[in-house]
């Protein structure tokens, strides 16, 4: 697909273009959420709870969008969220998104469940990479992945803490979702990787694999254990309240990603944007605070930054772009968001993301949830 066609409306246009080329069960896997998909809907609605208070005559011509993410200098405060099995949507899988993000000056979090090996992805990357881990029963596999990521040049580890088991994703259950041949968790040793799932067993392949490998007993002491396994900065993903944010900081986390996993885990969980201020306030300067969930345009980044996020991560839009037009479309998505953020900062009279005090006004008394 010609990238010029993507310009009018990046978020919605990309999803439409992707759905036109993807099998419907794959589009459902990507687009879906858990339960009644309330949190999924709230994630995007939450951004409309805030209006911007622009300042005029502030002389801002070229706002500074650069930021440091745990020591990684990036020129855009939007990174790629970890998303499993990217070869579901593009033959080059994770290599393609990493290339585009690097070109855009953005960071990528490579998922533990990547469908291209973590070393091969690192070799191909132009921009900084973090590596995501799940809380697995087999601690030796977790420690080994951490060591491999460190050796391959990843700059931080992200422990996803909100998936002791997989949320009930009704669309995947309805579709009996399985991974097609050739899309496998190649980073995992065969004893726990295998070929996830088989049709007709009543659960999605992804849910079965998570049931067999994830450890719901993983707790704060295990986070302390992981902290001791690596020299890399450690980020906890999936925090939605101040208490857990403080606990993560106390246990040695360097960063927190405020996230509801894009509404894919606990349905009716608070949308991440609403949890962000209490987390940012609770940890102060002890941890870098990030957000994902529902970020679709430049103004969303501005709202999240004003509420305490150092940078944000985008999930589904990147996969839709990957499906619709590969690395070029992902690069186009990043270019569009960069343009929107620049425009919003000029029009709001803000020269940098560090100086957003007084930018937000609650749009209504009643929140969307
Ligand atoms: C298809 C898909 C796969 C995902 N896989 C992972 C994963 O392997 N690890 C993880 O921590 N989060 C995973 N996530 C969650 C994302 O990292 C992120 O939290 C979420 O997508 C953000 O919301 P957004 O899609 O609205 O931007 C996945 C999300 C999607 C849509
Ligand atoms: C075991 C989880 C598979 C990836 C996924 O779908 C998600 O994290 O949302």
pLDDT of residue 8: 44
To the query of whether residue 214 is one of the catalytic residues in this protein, the response is no
Report the distance separating Cα 338 and Cα 345, nearest Å: 11
Is a pLDDT exceeding 50 seen at residue 5? Answer: no
Could you tell me the residue ranges of all domains in the chain? Answer: 10-362
To test the ligand 2 pocket, which listed residue (87, 206, 267, 316) has its Cβ within 8 A of the most ligand atoms? 206
To test the ligand 1 pocket, which listed residue (27, 81, 218) has its Cβ within 8 A of the most ligand atoms? 81
Closest ligand to Cα 28: 1
Closest ligand to Cα 41: 1
Report the distance separating Cα 283 and Cα 280, nearest Å: 6
Which residue out of 90, 190, 209, 261 is catalytically annotated?
261
CA distances, 123 to each of 14, 23, 145, 349 (Å): 28, 30, 16, 40
Whole-structure pTM value = 0.96
10-362 topology per CATH: TIM Barrel (3.20.20)
Report the distance separating Cα 147 and Cα 82, nearest Å: 19
ipTM of the prediction greater than 0.85, yes or no: yes
For residue 363, name the pLDDT band (cuts at 50, 70, 90): confident
pLDDT of residue 7: 36
Percent of the chain surpassing pLDDT 90: 90
pLDDT of residue 195: 74
Residue 82 marked in a binding site: yes
**Pairwise pLDDT comparison (196 vs 273), residue with the higher score:** 273
Give the binding-site residues of ligand 2, using a 6 Å CB cut-off.
84, 113, 166, 206, 210, 261, 264
Residue 134 CA: nearest ligand 2 atom is 1
Kindly state the average pLDDT of the residues 15-32.
Answer: 98
Kindly state the average pLDDT of the residues 190-210.
Answer: 80
For residue 199, name the pLDDT band (cuts at 50, 70, 90): low
């Amino acid at each position: 697909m010609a990238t010029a066609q993507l310009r009018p409306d990046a978020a919605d246009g990309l999803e439409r273009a992707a759905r036109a080329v993807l099998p419907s069960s794959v589009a459902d896997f990507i687009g879906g959420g858990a339960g009644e998909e309330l949190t999924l809907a709230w994630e995007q609605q939450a951004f409309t709870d805030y209006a911007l208070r622009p300042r005029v005559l502030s002389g801002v011509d070229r706002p500074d969008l650069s930021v440091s993410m745990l020591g990684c200098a990036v020129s855009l405060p939007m990174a790629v969220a970890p998303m499993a099995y990217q070869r579901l949507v593009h033959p080059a899988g994770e290599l393609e998104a990493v290339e585009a993000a690097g070109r855009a000056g953005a960071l990528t979090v490579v998922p533990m469940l990547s469908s291209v090996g973590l070393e091969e992805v690192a070799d191909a990357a132009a921009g900084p990479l973090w590596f995501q881990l799940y809380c697995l029963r087999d601690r030796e596999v977790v420690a080994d992945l951490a060591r491999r990521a460190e050796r391959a040049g990843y700059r931080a580890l992200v422990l996803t803490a909100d998936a002791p088991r997989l949320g009930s994703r009704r669309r995947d259950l309805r579709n009996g979702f399985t991974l097609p041949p050739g899309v496998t968790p190649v980073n995992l040793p065969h004893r726990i990787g295998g070929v996830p799932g088989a049709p007709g067993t009543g659960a999605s392949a992804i849910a079965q694999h998570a049931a067999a490998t994830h450890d719901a007993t993983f707790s704060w002491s295990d986070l302390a254990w992981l902290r001791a396994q690596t020299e890399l900065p450690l980020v906890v993903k999936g925090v939605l309240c101040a208490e857990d944010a403080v606990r993560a900081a106390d246990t040695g986390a360097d960063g927190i990603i405020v996230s509801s996993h894009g509404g894919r885990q606990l349905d009716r969980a608070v949308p991440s944007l609403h949890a962000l201020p209490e987390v940012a306030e609770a940890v102060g300067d002890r941890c870098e605070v990030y957000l994902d969930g529902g970020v679709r345009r430049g103004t969303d980044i501005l709202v999240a930054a004003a509420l305490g996020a150092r940078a944000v991560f985008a999930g589904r839009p990147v996969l839709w772009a990957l499906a619709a037009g590969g690395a070029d479309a992902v690069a186009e998505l990043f270019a569009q968001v960069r343009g929107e953020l620049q425009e919003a900062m000029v029009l709001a009279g803000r020269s940098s993301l560090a100086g957003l005090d007084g930018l937000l006004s609650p749009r209504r008394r009643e929140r969307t949830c």
